[in-house]
A and B are shown apart, each in its own frame.
Chain A
Amino acid sequence: MTIIDEPLALESGETYAEKPLGILTRPQAQGGWKDWVSTVDHKKIGIMYGVAAMFFFVVGGFEALLIRTQLAFPDQGFLSADLYNQIFTMHGVTMVFLFIMPLAAAFANYLIPLQIGARDVAFPRLNALSFWVWLSGAIFLNTSWIVGGGGANCGWFCYSPNSGIVFSPTHGVDFYAIGLLITGIASLVSAVNLIVTCLNMRAPGMDLMRMPVLTWMLLVTQFLLAFALPVITVALLLLLFDRTFDSQFFDPDAGADPLLWQHLFWIFGHPEVYIIILPSFGIISEVIPTFSRKPIFGYTAMVFSGIAIGFMGWGVWAHHMFVSGIGPISVAAFSLATMFIAVPTGVKILNWLTTMWGGKLHFTTAMLFATGTVAMFTIGGLSGVTHSLAPADTQQTDTYYIVAHFHYVIFGGGVLGLFAGAYFWWPKVFGHFLNERRGKINFWAMLIGFNLTFGPMHVLGLQGMSRRIDTYSAGYGFDFWNLMSTIGSYLIAVSVLVFFYNVWKSKKEAVDLPPPGPDPWDARSLEWSVPSPTPEHNFDEVPRVESFDHWWFQKYEIDDDGKVVRIAETEAVAQDGSATGVHLPSPSFWPLVLAIGLPLIGYGIIFNLWLCVVGGLLTGGAIYAWVFEPVDDPDAGHDHDDHHDDEDGDDELTAVGAGSAGDEDGEG
């Protein structure tokens, strides 16, 4: 086994200090909490993203249950109007920014380097920074329940002027604005990092058009993030200035037009929809071929339709504003643009179906979730088409019909796909399967609960039930379907509990079961060529990619008659993870320290500007220390000397290792 010990980064000379600021050397902990808080390993960061996202899924889900409990019957006072408004706002914010986006980030972090044959992301410390900044923003946002006088109460898109200090006098909206600014920093850093990773860190031979569809969709997502987040950042800053420093960007009495906020929000907000949905599209594009025993149909079309969705997603934002009075010409233009985004989306759906066509479908839990995603997203897509009819949208918008629509898209298309991914990659990440029987209970309970919750909302919306009303009167015909919807929501909660039980129980049972091996599903992309769980250094040997689905073609070939012939046993061609002494990026505490400073600045803006100074010193100090920290810890614990000169040239894979796992001195 060739051993690659080229450092991830070039020597940075003598400019570093061993202990910047006199404290905190580069940590070397292996295992334990210190390992987790200082890690720069993309896999551990991915796992932390996943765990934290699932925590907020529970928080957002609890808020959803409160909403549904309040709406189970007409004229209920289970929640006050004020509390209800806070809860539906925080439900939306939590699910979008603190659950789905970070859960997609978990997959992106864990899988992109593995799928392109890299040892880590381009900037490992920045990657850690993304996670800690996101987590600090997420916690900050939720502390408004305790110290902010309640959560934000303006709806997740927080229209001005209702979000202004006059109409929302508690600190909830301040926490919303600052919290999203902080999590926005995280997403932006992560987007840059992953774009560079995809573009610069691919293994030799891994052309762009050989990248797995998941990596492609995640790459498109990162571009959307990189361009969308600056827009919401501007909007949030303007809002914060209005509320904190008496500026008048959104004050109609001072001549401002509140439409400005709507445009800024939705120029971010519509691409955001694709930020949420494309990772899931990528996941099921991996799962469906694997369990159909066929390659993805129309790979090129899949990639380009994803790119097309990404581009067109920028030209449809005003379909959220058809009734806001933007004028008939604008409405017509955005209506047409919206319709035609259905074309690339339809291509994707048909390609998944064609992949299943004539395949041998093995309905593992992952496959069930993936096919469920196709069907449920189709419903959400079709109700989306009915929204694109601008005249019809004047009836449907801001009713429960649209609540049904976006839950079919985000939950049906997004969350179900992410669950497919969880069941699919679980053995790769944790080295044991999730139990299939419990997994299927999880799937069916979730599918039925989901349809029972959100299906009736189509009816409620067409019957004229407005969204965001904290209660409704008897006599409007809303009673029955609201009760069904509430029952459905509890069934979803049960299915999520089954998932958590499955996670816990499967781990306990795993000791008595054979390990999954590197490639339990007979899958197609590179991550399945390494042991499960993935060794810290990912690849013993960086693969040389010769085709799309390179890993599958290590196991099989297609003979002249078009028949698939096995050419090698999986174990024979898989890596065994035995490489030692692979030089990996050194861990660091500074990303965490930097991240802790940001919410302090946030509290300072709200409560006392002196806190900003404390937070600023912490963040600034962390940046200083980060800069002067040795890029590559000279004392790092690998078991041989680090004399790269010795090995220069004697193994061409050395260069491969350097090229694929962090070139230049650009590490974080």
Chain B
Amino acid sequence: MQRTTTVSDPRVRSRRSLPGLFILFGLVLAGCASDAELDTLKPQSETARQIDDLLDPVLAIAGVVLVLVCGAVAWLGWKNRVSSYEGDDEFPEQMAHNNTLEILMTGVPAIIMVVVAVMTLTTHLDINSYDDANAMPVVVEGASTDWEPKIVVVGNQWWWEFRYYFGEDVTADSLGSDMKNLPPADIVTSGQMVIPTGQEVELLVTSRDVIHSFWIPALNGKRDARPGFFAPWKIEADNPGVYFGQCTEFCGLSHARMRMQTIAMTPDDFQAWIDHQVQPATDPTGDAALRGKDAFVANCSGCHLIEGVNGSEDIRAAVESGAAPNLTHFASRTTFAGGILFTYNEDGTFNRDDVARWLREPEVVKDNAANDLPDGTLPRGMPNLGLSERTISDLVAYLETLGPRPTDEIIADSEVE
């Protein structure tokens, strides 16, 4: 969706008419790569546009100043150059100070900065104000309720969890201060945050271990996820689509492999998504999948939760963050392993190879600190469980049943070309 911006977009055109090397430089070059999924200059929401509208004129001013200063250096250097002082007794005028000029040289930058400051403050206050009257009706397991859209975003080494509470209004107080023991939520998902379009959604961003940073560039700036604190933030999207993100606060070994996406759906599709996400997992059919379910209980259920199989409450996983992704609707998500692998192939079939690879040797697929640990330390990341090939193929068969399968459009949009 956000990839479809073309040069015919009037916003892009108007930018090009602005002066300034900076912008031309940035934009022409950014334009070279139309597939830049994380591009900060292609806003797809009101907030991101406000940020962009603040940056654009300042980039233009900066571009002008840049051209003036660098131009002055080059021009003065060219015009006033001499090849040597040898035998030259003529000195230029010894101008050591000039009050008018010096006042101007202090005053003009100061005035420019005052203008920039006013623009900044206005935007800053705007994007930090939250819409309190944005409740939307949702139906959760047959009961309709007014939901003040709010999602709890939890960083873990090295994946993101998203928690939806429909029943009550969640606040930092109601969530408590123990990030490893949050109140049970109606929906717990990971890697991909689903939001309704045209709706401001408040985020409460936190972490269970180190500091991470949640960032979907097309929709808003970033917010650090820090343990012990719920940082308020918000997100919204104009149009349905898949919007890419990347953890941006260095969080240790696999920081580079900690990605996330926000999927915006129309309110109707969002309601449909809620309808199946609140259900427990359906029982599989087929021998391999049934064996896989048993294998899950035997090997995985100590850390991962599949509702309807090993309980309905969060599981305190034996890893440093205390949590592992909830797999109840694993196959309804198009990415896994912290957002770096795709659940479906380009032709839309289930990506058995990568799921198997992840189960076989997670430490090779993604750097982690989960094996051969010193005494007294907990794993960080998915450990290699030494599963047999047979068990792996059974588990893959079972995981494939944990749908429902997302739409072809979402599958296609969520993969990097």
- A residues with a Cβ closer than 8 A to B are 80-82, 85, 153-155, 159, 161-162, 166-169, 252-253, 255-259, 292-301, 323-325, 328, 331-332, 335-336, 339-340, 342-343, 346-347, 349-351, 353-354, 356-363, 371, 374-375, 378-379, 382-383, 385-386, 388-399, 455-456, 458-459, 461-478, 480-481, 522, 556, 558, 562-564, 566
Contact = CB atoms under 8 A, between A and B. Distances in A.
B135 interface: no
A459 B36 CA distance: 11
Given A347-B109, A389-B116, A463 B102 contact: no
Contacts of B36: 463-464, 476-478
Contacts of B88: 360
Contacts of A257: 228-229
Given A85-B253, A392-B55, A395-B222, A463 B38 contact: yes
Interface string B45-59: 000101100110011
A394 B51 contact: yes
Interface in B10-67: 22, 25-26, 29-30, 32-41, 48, 50-51, 54-55, 58-59, 62, 65-66
A464 B97 contact: no
B128 A399 contact: no
B226 interface: yes
Contacts of B220: 394
B390 interface: no
B84 interface: yes
B96 to A, nearest CB: 4
Contacts of A522: 85
A383 B55 CA distance: 11
Contacts of B222: 323, 394-395, 397-398
Contacts of A340: 110, 113, 117
Nearest to B83: A362
A392 B124 CA distance: 9
A596 to B, nearest CB: 32
24 contacts: A155-B250, A169-B377, A256-B228, A257-B229, A258-B227, A295-B95, A298-B102, A323-B213, A323-B221, A323-B222, A325-B205, A339-B116, A353-B73, A357-B95, A358-B92, A385-B113, A395-B51, A395-B221, A463-B36, A463-B38, A463-B39, A475-B37, A476-B37, A562-B94
Interface centre among B90, B93, B247, B416 (most CB of A within 10 A): B93
B217 to A, nearest CB: 5
Contact of B367 (A80, A169, A343, A477): A80
Contact of B211 (A162, A391, A396, A397): A162
A167 B76 contact: no
Given A81-B254, A332-B124, A394-B51, A342 B113 contact: yes
B55 A389 contact: yes
Interface in B58-82: 58-59, 62, 65-66, 69-70, 72-74, 76-77, 80-82
Given A166-B320, A353-B69, A464-B40, A358 B253 contact: no
B221 A469 contact: no
Contacts, number: 334
Contact of B80 (A82, A356, A476): A356
A360 B85 contact: yes
Contacts of A477: 30, 32-37, 39
A252 B228 contact: yes
Contacts of B38: 463-465, 476
Given A353-B76, A374-B69, 19 more contacts: A253-B227, A257-B228, A258-B211, A258-B227, A294-B92, A298-B102, A299-B97, A324-B226, A324-B231, A332-B124, A335-B120, A359-B92, A360-B90, A362-B85, A394-B223, A466-B256, A475-B37, A480-B32, A556-B91
B246 interface: yes
B34 to A, nearest CB: 8
Nearest to A399: B248
Contacts of A82: 253, 367
Interface of B: 22, 25-26, 29-30, 32-41, 48, 50-51, 54-55, 58-59, 62, 65-66, 69-70, 72-74, 76-77, 80-85, 88-98, 101-102, 105-106, 109-110, 113, 116-117, 119-121, 123-125, 127-128, 157, 205, 209-211, 213, 217, 220-224, 226-229, 231-232, 244, 246-257, 320, 340, 367, 374, 377, 380, 416-417
Given A363-B77, A389-B54, A378 B70 contact: yes
Contacts of A389: 54-55, 58, 116, 119-120, 123
Contact of A472 (B84, B205, B252, B256): B256
A354 B73 contact: no
Contacts of B121: 332, 335-336
B91 A378 contact: no
A328 B232 CA distance: 10
B101 A354 contact: yes
A391 B94 CA distance: 45
A398 B226 contact: no
B54 A325 contact: no
Contact of A392 (B29, B58, B70, B232): B58
B105 A351 contact: yes
Contacts of A480: 32-33
Nearest to B39: A463
Given A293-B91, A464-B36, A361 B76 contact: yes
A332 B121 CA distance: 7
Contacts of B98: 297-298, 354
A468 B213 contact: no
B39 A464 contact: yes
A357 B82 CA distance: 14
A614 B88 CA distance: 65
Nearest to B380: A167
Contacts of A455: 25
Nearest to B378: A166
A462 B92 contact: no
A346 B41 contact: no
Nearest to B245: A464
A391 B51 contact: yes
B109 A475 contact: no
Nearest to B103: A301
B54 to A, nearest CB: 6
Contacts of A391: 50-51, 54, 120, 123-124, 127, 221
Contacts of B35: 475-477
Contacts of B34: 477
A378 B69 contact: yes
A607 to B, nearest CB: 16
Nearest to B254: A81
Contacts of B257: 81
B76 A356 contact: yes
A325 B256 contact: no
Given A159-B211, A383-B62, A468-B255, A564 B228 contact: no
Contacts of B83: 362
B372 to A, nearest CB: 12
B135 to A, nearest CB: 23
List 9 A-B pairs, minimum CB-CB distance, nearest first: A394-B221, A464-B38, A477-B33, A325-B231, A469-B256, A477-B36, A564-B91, A475-B416, A346-B109
A295 B397 CA distance: 80
A466 B102 CA distance: 41
Contacts of B32: 477, 480
A336 B164 CA distance: 37
Interface centre among B30, B91, B117, B377 (most CB of A within 10 A): B91
Contacts of B124: 328, 331-332, 335, 390-391
Contacts of B85: 293, 360, 362, 522
A203 to B, nearest CB: 22
Contacts of A397: 222, 248
Contacts of A385: 58, 62, 113, 116
A184 B244 CA distance: 42
Nearest to A566: B89
A364 to B, nearest CB: 10
B365 to A, nearest CB: 12
